[in-house]
């Protein structure tokens, strides 16, 4: 039976792992200087909340560090990392201070009702989740074949697409996300629908696979294997099944039923 959500216990393991390692060097996951170069905060209606999603593994969730002074000098602190694809409610933009530097942030509310802030490059408001399944999935500057760019989005990248942007032919949709290999922000661009899977089992398998691949240390082996095994067992119909299986069993060239 296919499961529609990532196992809570596994997510707890991943959250604990990242929380314990939040001050360690892990590339661009926590780098505020990288985030600063992101696109501006998207405008939202006053006092409104809109469904959205976390776009990165360990998306930064910030909370107020002390008193709210009502201006950009109000300090925030790193509270926890959100799971890739985690559902959040997105609110109003606000300029605040993080780690001694001012940033444009956006209000977010988690499913447990916790309130905080996130970097706008790590959050997408609105839309629906999808995952890239093509090896060569091009980005387009406009929903037209002639507007193809030189950028290819990596397979397994989980992103958000906006169904209301679908053109008359049904071939293109606007997308927003973070490339899972380059770490580059994808925004104000289009992709072919045929390059994406909107099936939940493909999306969830990709989330587990990507999260597992970030666990490269010797002390992370147990959690890594748990995530990969969950991806195989819970989402056997995923297009990433064979890839995940090969990672778990690299020395087995064939399997029963192949």
Comparing 52-61, 128-137, 245-254, the range with the smallest average pLDDT is: 245-254
- Total domains in the chain come to 2
Residue 52's DSSP bridge partners are: 88, 125
pTM: predicted TM-score of the whole model, two decimal places: 0.80
* Residue 43: per-residue pLDDT: 39
Output 15-23 pairs: Cβ under 8 A, ≥24 positions apart: 15/80, 15/81, 15/83, 17/215, 17/220, 17/223, 18/58, 18/80, 18/81, 19/80, 19/81, 22/78, 22/81
User: β-strands 101-109, 75-82: how paired?
Assistant: unpaired
Please indicate, yes or no, if residue 43 is contained in any of the structural domains.
yes
Higher pLDDT, 149 or 257: 149
CA gyration radius, the chain: 19
d(CA 217, CA 55): 23
Higher pLDDT, 192 or 10: 192
User: Considering only CA atoms, which of 58, 10, 1, 26 is closest in space to residue 225?
Assistant: 10
CATH number of the structural domain spanning residue 190: 2.30.30
The answer to whether residues 147 and 77 belong to one domain is no
pLDDT digits (tens, 9 = 90+) for 38-56: 444 443 344 589 999 999 9
pLDDT at 180 over 80: yes
**Average of pLDDT values for 28-46?**
39
Please indicate, yes or no, if residue 236 is contained in any of the structural domains.
no
User: Tokens at residue 92, please?
Assistant: 């109003």
Please indicate, yes or no, if residue 204 is contained in any of the structural domains.
no
* Residue 100: per-residue pLDDT: 95
Please indicate, yes or no, if residue 232 is contained in any of the structural domains.
no
The answer to whether residues 117 and 133 belong to one domain is no
Report residue 212's pLDDT band, with 50, 70 and 90 as the boundaries. Answer: very high
d(CA 104, CA 121): 10
Comparing 106-115, 117-126, 206-215, 243-252, the range with the smallest average pLDDT is: 243-252
The answer to whether residues 159 and 172 belong to one domain is yes
Boundary of a domain, candidates 197, 213, 238 = 197
Boundary of a domain, candidates 174, 197, 220 = 197
Please indicate, yes or no, if residue 79 is contained in any of the structural domains.
yes
SS3 240: coil
Host domain of residue 85: 31-124
User: Considering only CA atoms, which of 151, 84, 162 is closest in space to residue 123?
Assistant: 84
Residues 6+ apart with CB under 8 A from 194: 134, 171
Please indicate, yes or no, if residue 160 is contained in any of the structural domains.
yes
The answer to whether residues 164 and 111 belong to one domain is no
d(CA 96, CA 100): 10
The answer to whether residues 164 and 85 belong to one domain is no
Phi, psi dihedrals of residue 154, rounded to the nearest 5° = -65, 140
d(CA 81, CA 16): 9
Please indicate, yes or no, if residue 230 is contained in any of the structural domains.
no
The answer to whether residues 55 and 112 belong to one domain is yes
The answer to whether residues 151 and 175 belong to one domain is yes
Residues 6+ apart with CB under 8 A from 22: 30, 78, 81
The answer to whether residues 116 and 144 belong to one domain is no
């Amino acid at each position: 039976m296919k499961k529609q959500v990532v196992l809570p216990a596994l997510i707890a393991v991943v959250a604990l792992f990242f929380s314990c390692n939040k001050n360690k060097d892990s590339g661009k996951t926590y780098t505020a200087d990288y985030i600063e170069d992101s696109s501006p905060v998207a405008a939202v209606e006053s006092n409104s909340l809109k469904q959205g999603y976390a776009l990165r593994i360990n998306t930064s969730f910030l909370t107020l560090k002390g008193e709210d002074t009502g201006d950009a000098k109000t300090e925030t602190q790193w509270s926890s990392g959100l799971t890739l694809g985690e559902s959040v409610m997105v609110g109003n933009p606000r300029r605040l201070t993080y780690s001694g530097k001012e940033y444009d942030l956006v209000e977010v509310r988690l499913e447990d009702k916790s309130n905080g802030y996130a970097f706008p490059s790590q959050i997408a408001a609105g839309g629906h989740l999808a995952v890239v399944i093509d090896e060569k999935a091009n980005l387009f500057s406009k929903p037209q074949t002639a507007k193809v760019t030189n950028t290819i989005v990596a397979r397994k990248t989980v992103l958000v697409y906006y169904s209301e942007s679908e053109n008359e032919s049904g071939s293109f949709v606007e997308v927003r996300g973070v490339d899972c290999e380059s770490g580059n922000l994808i925004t104000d661009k289009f992709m072919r629908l045929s390059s994406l899977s909107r099936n939940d089992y493909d999306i969830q398998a990709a989330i587990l696979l990507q999260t597992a691949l970030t666990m490269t240390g010797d002390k992370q082996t147990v959690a890594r294997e748990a995530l990969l095994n969950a991806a195989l067992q819970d989402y056997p119909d995923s297009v990433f099944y064979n890839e995940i299986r090969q990672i778990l069993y690299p020395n087995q060239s064939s399997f029963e039923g192949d």
